[in-house]
């Protein structure tokens, strides 16, 4: 059953996110459990990240957005030290994998992004990581991509989710060469209202807030989302 505990505040590493400050804030707030997005850190950066985490009060990281250059030893470290249950990754067509991930097949979920992967690739993983903001972006701006992905959903396990903000204005993404309405920075809680467009079946046991906002703001977002989805309190 869906519960508030399914929603995890996250330490993100995108350009606008001060991940070092977030680790300190987690300690200040007494958080022992977070999701982790080492998405924008190379190996050296991740080593610093793990070093700071090791000095923090964080004990559990159930959900990690892995990178294509993360080694089996790195995944083993996260599983053993932080009890990581699930990972998500982007398609190898977008970011080629440097290592064989088959030993972790039952833990790794493929995320929907602007890159349209095929079912044959998806079958190599445990199932889907539905990034709900990516999905909403496509529903509004890329309906063909949206329809193709939604066609896959009923046939695969949904193992984890990302939630970011959806803005009312578009911005042009230079890397993707397309307009987007997704944002990793939430300006207002109402930017999460789009989640009402999706059935509870699209939400999993592990839901990470992929937001650059500080953890205090993410905890408010967690409460807001739980109330928004009108599940049994």
Dist CA 54 CA 48 (whole Å): 10
Which residue range forms the structural domain that includes residue 20?
A: 4-228
pLDDT in tens, 186-202: 999 999 999 999 999 99
- Domain membership of residue 68 (yes or no) is yes
Whether 60 is covered by a domain: the verdict is yes
Q: How far is CA 210 from the centre of its chain?
A: 5
Tell whether 52 is covered by a domain: yes
Q: Is 99 helix (H, G, I), strand (E, B) or coil?
A: coil
Q: Please indicate, yes or no, if residue 81 is contained in any of the structural domains.
A: yes
Domain membership flag for residue 233: no
CB atoms within 10 A of CB 174: 7
CATH of the domain at 182: 3.20.20
Cα–Cα distance measured from residue 126 to residue 85, given in angstroms and rounded to the nearest whole number: 12
Q: Could you give the CA distance from residue 111 to residue 89 in angstroms, rounded to a whole number?
A: 6
Give me the mean pLDDT over the 125-133 stretch.
98
Tens-place pLDDT, residues 144-180: 999 999 999 999 999 999 999 999 988 887 776 788 8
Residue 203, pLDDT score: 96
Whether 184 is covered by a domain: the verdict is yes
- Number of domains observed in the structure of the chain: 1
- CB of 192 within 8 A of CB of 228? yes
> Distance between CA 229 and CA 190 in Å, rounded?
13
Going by C-alpha positions, the residue among 90, 96, 137 that lies closest to residue 116 is 90
Tell me which H or E stretch contains 86.
strand 86-89
In a domain, 194, yes or no: yes
Share of the chain above pLDDT 90, in %: 85
For residue 134, tell me if it sits in a domain: yes
How many CA atoms, within 13 angstroms, populate the side-chain half-sphere of residue 92? 14
Average pLDDT over residues 66-74: 96
Q: What pTM was computed for the model?
A: 0.95
164 with 191: CB under 8 angstroms?
Answer: no
User: Which pLDDT tens digit goes with each residue over 210-220?
Assistant: 999 999 999 99
Give the pLDDT score at 1: 64
């Amino acid at each position: 059953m869906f519960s508030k505990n399914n929603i995890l505040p996250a330490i993100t590493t995108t350009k606008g996110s001060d991940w070092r400050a977030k680790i300190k804030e987690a300690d200040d707030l007494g958080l022992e459990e977070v999701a982790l997005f080492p998405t924008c850190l190379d190996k050296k950066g991740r080593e610093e990240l793990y070093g700071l985490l090791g000095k923090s009060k964080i004990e559990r990281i159930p959900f990690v957005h892995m990178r294509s250059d993360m080694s089996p030893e790195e995944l083993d470290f996260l599983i053993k030290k932080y009890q990581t249950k699930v990972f998500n990754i982007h398609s190898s067509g977008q970011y080629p994998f440097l290592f064989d991930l088959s030993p972790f097949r039952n833990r790794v979920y493929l995320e929907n992004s602007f890159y349209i992967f095929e079912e044959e690739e998806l079958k190599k993983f445990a199932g889907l990581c539905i990034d709900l903001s990516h999905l909403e972006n496509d529903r509004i701006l890329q309906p063909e991509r949206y329809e193709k992905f939604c066609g896959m959903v009923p046939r695969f396990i949904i193992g984890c989710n990302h939630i970011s903000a959806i803005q009312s204005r578009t911005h042009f993404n230079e890397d993707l060469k397309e307009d987007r309405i997704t944002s990793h920075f939430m300006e207002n809680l109402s930017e999460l209202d789009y989640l009402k467009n999706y059935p509870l079946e699209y939400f999993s046991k592990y839901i990470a807030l992929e937001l650059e906002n500080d953890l205090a703001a993410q905890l408010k977002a967690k409460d807001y989302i739980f109330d928004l989805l009108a599940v049994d309190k």
